[in-house]
Amino acid sequence: MKTLTDFKNAIQVGVIVKTTHHQKSAGRDEQGKLILVSEEMEPAPVSIKQTTQFAVKRTRKDGTQADSWMSFGKASECKIEGNKITFYAEDFRAPEAKTLIPLLTYEIL
């Protein structure tokens, strides 16, 4: 994949994707700033694909299944490396800086 359009075309119902959530809270530092860490999630199948978003089927802690949604976002807010795409979002800890930090990475398996 080289573009966001390539990723959109590759995302089809039934395709398995591995997700990494890059903004899990891990407490605060000495200055009180939120510490963010990455958390890998179990690979899951794409359950729904729409024009601007898609969903993967996740199993909740109680064993029930639910759709976890993600918008495709803008090409300027993502980076593609091979079969992985990382979506970026503004760092909410310092909005005045307008810095983009990783939000989610999807790897098509």
Domains of the chain: 4-108 (2.40.128)
Average pLDDT (21-41) is: 94
In this predicted model, what pLDDT tens digit does every residue of 54-88 receive, in sequence order? Answer: 999 999 999 999 999 999 889 999 999 999 999 99
User: What's the pLDDT score for residue 48?
Assistant: 97
Whether the CA torsion 57, 102, 91, 73 is positive or negative: it is negative
Q: Say yes or no to pLDDT of 22 above 90.
A: yes
**Percent of the chain surpassing pLDDT 90:** 84
Cβ–Cβ contacts within 10 Å for residue 25, how many?
A: 9
Q: Which two tokens stand for residue 4?
A: 């966001």
pLDDT band at 96 (very low <50, low <70, confident <90, very high): confident
